């Protein structure tokens, strides 16, 4: 089995994968991007490039040669930088309900105009705060029961604003290598139709539908792991 490297999305750290990892058949790590968990740093200093470097460093520290790179949500913006650093060591990339803006645009640019205006007003520099529970329930918890949602909220952390506002460089994805999109069909934050457009930005990216909302690693850890195990076992 090729080792699996799990990259959390915005507003979370490596702990969001804790329910999924026991279902993986081979070795894995769940990384912390800079500014949280095992990689403390001032949030204003965190960039997409720094995220790519941090992931590559963790892969080396784990002693992994080839990997399956798995990103969730906002990780779609830092995965290209990671692929650029690791090159053909990335045997397969799996984008789970990711945001992958068009080349040279940002995650913020993908929002609907009225939501984007509100977000821009709220980004005043420094870390973005943890979402309040009511909004988090609407965006992240629409298929989570009370216990699952409480577990999810315990793992929410502030986010670095640059990861939301910085333009992405998709050039590393122009190199042919296997990739898969996992579309969460009941997603309330990254619309399933919008995910299809993001998958086109990734390139030649087959889409696998999962009957789950955004936090599929919490609501359906075994089913998502089944998909990842298939990629890790592929020749």
Give which of 166, 81, 84 is closest to 123, Cα–Cα. Answer: 166
- Does position 92 have pLDDT exceeding 70, yes or no? yes
- Helices (H) and strands (E) in the chain — how many of each? 9, 6
Q: Which domains does the chain possess?
A: 4-233 (3.40.50.1820)
Looking at every residue in the chain, the average pLDDT score rounds to 92
3 state DSSP class of 69: strand
Question: Up-side HSE of residue 175: CA atoms within 13 Å toward CB?
Answer: 15
Cβ neighbour number for residue 200 with a 10 Å cutoff = 14
- Does position 10 have pLDDT exceeding 70, yes or no? yes
Query: What is the mean pLDDT of the segment spanning 49-68?
Result: 97
Query: What is the mean pLDDT of the segment spanning 134-141?
Result: 87
- Does position 71 have pLDDT exceeding 90, yes or no? yes
Residue 46's pLDDT is: 93
pTM: 0.94
Which sign, positive or negative, has the C-alpha torsion 226, 227, 228, 229? positive
pLDDT, tens digit, 9 for 90 and up, residues 158-176 = 888 889 899 999 999 999 9
Residue 128's pLDDT is: 67
Min mean pLDDT across 20-24, 51-55, 72-76, 133-137 is at 133-137
Query: What is the mean pLDDT of the segment spanning 150-159?
Result: 93
Query: What is the mean pLDDT of the segment spanning 134-163?
Result: 91
Contacts for 104 with CB less than 8 Å, ≥ 6 apart: 167, 168, 169
**Whole-angstrom distance, CA of residue 156 vs CA of residue 63:** 28
């Amino acid at each position: 089995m090729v080792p699996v490297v799990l990259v959390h999305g915005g507003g979370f750290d490596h702990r969001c994968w804790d329910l999924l990892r026991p279902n993986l058949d081979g070795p894995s790590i769940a990384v912390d991007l800079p500014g949280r968990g095992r990689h403390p740093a001032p949030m204003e200093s965190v960039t997409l490039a720094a995220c790519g470097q941090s992931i590559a460093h963790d892969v080396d520290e784990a002693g992994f040669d080839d990997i399956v790179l798995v990103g969730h949500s906002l990780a779609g913006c830092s995965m290209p930088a990671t692929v650029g650093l690791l090159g053909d060591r990335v045997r397969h990339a799996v984008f789970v309900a990711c945001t992958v803006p068009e080349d040279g645009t940002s995650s913020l640019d993908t929002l609907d105009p009225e939501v984007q205006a509100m977000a821009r007003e709220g980004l005043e520099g420094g870390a973005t705060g943890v979402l309040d529970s009511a909004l988090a329930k609407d965006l992240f918890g629409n298929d989570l029961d009370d216990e699952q949602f409480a577990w999810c909220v315990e793992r929410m952390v502030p986010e670095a604003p640059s990861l939301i506002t910085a333009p992405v460089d998709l050039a590393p994805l122009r190199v042919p290598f296997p990739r898969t999109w996992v579309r969460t069909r009941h997603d309330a934050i990254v619309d399933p139709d919008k995910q299809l457009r993001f998958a086109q930005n990734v390139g030649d990216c087959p889409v696998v539908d999962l009957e789950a909302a955004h936090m599929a690693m919490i609501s359906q850890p075994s089913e998502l792991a089944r998909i990842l195990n298939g990629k890790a076992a592929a020749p």
